[in-house]
Amino acid sequence: MKLALLVSILGASLCAQEAVQYDALKVQARNYIAQGKPELALKIAEPLVKKAPDDIDIWYTVAQANRLLGKIEAAEKATQWMLDLRPENLNGQHEAALLREIFNDLPGALDLLNSVFRATPVSKYTERAALLNDIARIFEKQNLKTDAAQLRKEIERLKGLEIANAKATAIPDHK
């Protein structure tokens, strides 16, 4: 009886340690994407999707890294997997929009980007600014320079709101 309990406790402890390591690797992969190192992100993320094929967050990293590396077919497959798992997932829709842009389906890309923008909470300044940046880039490709310039002004406004929000929620340093 005691041995069975000990084995059960040890097993649970190992599972918990593995989960913590998995989460840490996911964070590291996302950090590599943010640092502009998609090849390193992919080296971490690809083995993780084999461990957890229903983890949409790690699929997002795989899709984004492949797209950034120009591996469009692999990016398309990872994005489709995300959308198959959860069609309403905003990251999956965003990646699909960026792939449409690559395939020169600019109206389709704009439709998806606008849909994702509308679904993104107004309090998510950084995400909304990134989406507007993508929309502005497509406007520029369509020679809609005035519209793109207006979006760039809105992007700057959102960045200002993000900075103000960060300052307002910062913990004061009482030295």
pTM as predicted = 0.81
Q: For residue range 114-159, list pLDDT tens digits in order.
A: 999 999 999 999 999 999 999 999 999 999 999 999 999 999 998 8
Question: How far apart (Å, rounded) are the C-alpha atoms in residues 131 and 128?
Answer: 5
At the second CATH level, the architecture of 36-105 is: Alpha Horseshoe (1.25)
Residue type, 7: V
Q: Would you say 157 and 122 are in contact if contact means Cβ atoms under 8 Å apart?
A: no
pLDDT at 161: 83
Residue type, 128: R
Higher pLDDT, 116 or 161: 116
65 CB-near residues (< 8 Å, 6+ apart): 29, 32, 33, 38, 39, 41, 42, 45
Could you tell me the residue ranges of all domains in the chain? 36-105, 120-163
Q: For residue range 104-114, list pLDDT tens digits in order.
A: 999 999 999 99
Q: For residue range 17-62, list pLDDT tens digits in order.
A: 777 799 999 999 999 999 999 999 999 999 999 999 999 999 999 9
Q: Would you say 63 and 95 are in contact if contact means Cβ atoms under 8 Å apart?
A: yes
Q: Would you say 55 and 49 are in contact if contact means Cβ atoms under 8 Å apart?
A: yes
In the 8-state DSSP scheme, what is residue 87? T
76 CB-near residues (< 8 Å, 6+ apart): 99
